[in-house]
Structure 1
């Protein structure tokens, strides 16, 4: 196949703060050397911490100035903490349908079609973070499952998946400092789930926005609003949040559980109010999200309420504090009842034995979603943003489209390529 070549073009980008500068990098799959700045990598070369390269899976082939493969391939580049605007030129010698994810399976571009020999340029913004909290020198208290997560490793990773996934060029530049960041604080129903078959709405949300928004999903499995404090996850958010940013908070699933981790409704409301006030002090916009329902139906097909009174506490705090509310609890009830009990398993992690590698027993989970369910929940969140008239809706890729949870997408219309990483263990819960 010859040598795989990437063109590295470096330019200076003036920061909006002071006179500091940062570099933009463009990597181009090319058969021929075009400049002295060109970096040559063989297809078998892998990412090493000092340079960009293919990572985590077999490298793609170089065919007619395109990196292309029959299955997923990954590209990583070492990057400091921050947000980066990424532009990809998709396309290759064969017709392709390419889905692009970033970091721990954050959906950036869903099923982009390119004709044989054609190309299409798309852009998005990716948030890169590290455990360190500055100033102060402390770190986020990560769970064991987070220690090797792509969300915390100090590099920007892109996954190209689908039918003949193909890319011609990847450009990465520090995002404009004026771009708003949307910080997500929540639990396993919000987090970037690293592995199949699990998924959550927070990792689907970036695909609905263009490059003018950075989604910083700081949610983690098993969290209550109080443990989010104790593990310094709020400290991490407030070390970087700025005026013009947004803070979306969704807790409740674990807070309500009996035992030492239980958060009383009084403490729950008090902590919500505390972080609403802190966000406002920073000039950021707080938004509350009620927890989506579990998959629990009564005899006539209606969803039963297993989360009371926590969603109502959120509604009451939103009203008294005059903050935006995304009532995902109500929207998910409409969604689940429209899908119906029999078909609703298609949204959750239900799988017969041997569906996935080394899966000896069937999976059945009425709380956690697969990619289809997570995508539909993300559509509900976007609808909630529109209903609340958040300024963010102007930055949606399709701001005039409104999802109707009473008429959800069919699973086949949403179906995403499966990432080659699996975990049969249920996400951590309290």
Structure 2
């Protein structure tokens, strides 16, 4: 199932120590949990902003096209997917992570019914393969929602399972960010997990003079942790990262 992704990354990784191989471009298609933030939104941070740090300098180029508030439907309708695809070349990697906005049925401007969500993801995968690039599917990251017993409450309904099913059916590499992020939040617990999100007291930051309690968007600390979770999952798939090849460290 993972042969195309494995081959692309191993070939790149094994060549890196021997000569100055051109960097691999990693394109990001997703929502606010992954995107680059505007200055007025800081310290809100998308985990995609820390992705390049998971690789040795000069070995990858991250093209972060993720955008706040976008679902698979609006990413398509606004032309963002076509623009990403236009810039994708053979050998590139495209990370695809949606779900937060697709499942927001109370927000008709972005809501995408489950069947359409699965169909859109399938189109993304097919389009990337047409460009002789490698698609990677990601489940959405968890929101910080706990019940009275201190247990994390899933908040994406059946959407993550649609991603998992598509990955299995189409032989696409899957990074299960929902499960990994859920484990991180559960381990941190109700109080300590606040530091991973945009939780600020009044007067703590000029952008939020009244404070903010946002359990969806990450703080820099949370974004960095999610990027590390991505890298750990990548390794668990049996893919050699450039850093591992350069150091000779076994996986």
SS of alignment partner, residue 182 of structure 1: strand
Aligned to 1:245: 92
Aligned to 2:154: 305
Runs of 4+ in 1 over 4 A off after TM superposition: 395-402
Query: Which residue of 171, 179, 196 corresponds with 1:322?
Result: 171
Query: Which residue of 52, 60, 64 corresponds with 1:206?
Result: 52
Structure with higher helix content = 2
- How far residue 401 of structure 1 moved from its aligned partner, in angstroms, is 9.5
SS of alignment partner, residue 243 of structure 1: coil
Check 1:399–1:378 CA distance in 2 against 1; reply closer, same or farther (3 A cut): farther
SS of alignment partner, residue 174 of structure 2: strand
Query: Which residue of 263, 274, 279 corresponds with 2:112?
Result: 263
How many Å separate the matches in 2 of 1:398 and 1:232? 41
Aligned to 2:67: 220
1:313-366 CA distance string (max 9 Å, x none): 000000001000000000011100111111111111111111112643121001
What's the TM-score once normalised by structure 2's chain length?
0.84
How many Å separate the matches in 1 of 2:52 and 2:127? 25
* 8 Å CA contact 2:205, 2:211 repeated in 1: no
Check 1:338–1:274 CA distance in 2 against 1; reply closer, same or farther (3 A cut): same
* 8 Å CA contact 1:208, 1:398 repeated in 2: no
What's the TM-score once normalised by structure 1's chain length?
0.50
- How far residue 200 of structure 1 moved from its aligned partner, in angstroms, is 1.1
1:55-90 CA distance string (max 9 Å, x none): xxxxxxxxxxxxxxxxxxxxxxxxxxxxxxxxxxxx
1:362-395 CA distance string (max 9 Å, x none): 210010011000000111111121122345x235
SS of alignment partner, residue 234 of structure 2: helix
Check 1:253–1:359 CA distance in 2 against 1; reply closer, same or farther (3 A cut): closer
Structure with higher strand content = 1
Aligned to 1:388: 237
How many Å separate the matches in 2 of 1:234 and 1:383? 27
- How far residue 265 of structure 1 moved from its aligned partner, in angstroms, is 1.0
Give the total of aligned pairs: 226
1:191 and 2:38 correspond: no
How many Å separate the matches in 1 of 2:53 and 2:136? 20
Choose between structure 1 and 2 for higher RCO, CA contacts under 8 A separated by at least 6 residues. 2
Runs of 5+ consecutive residues of structure 2 not aligned to the other structure = 1-19
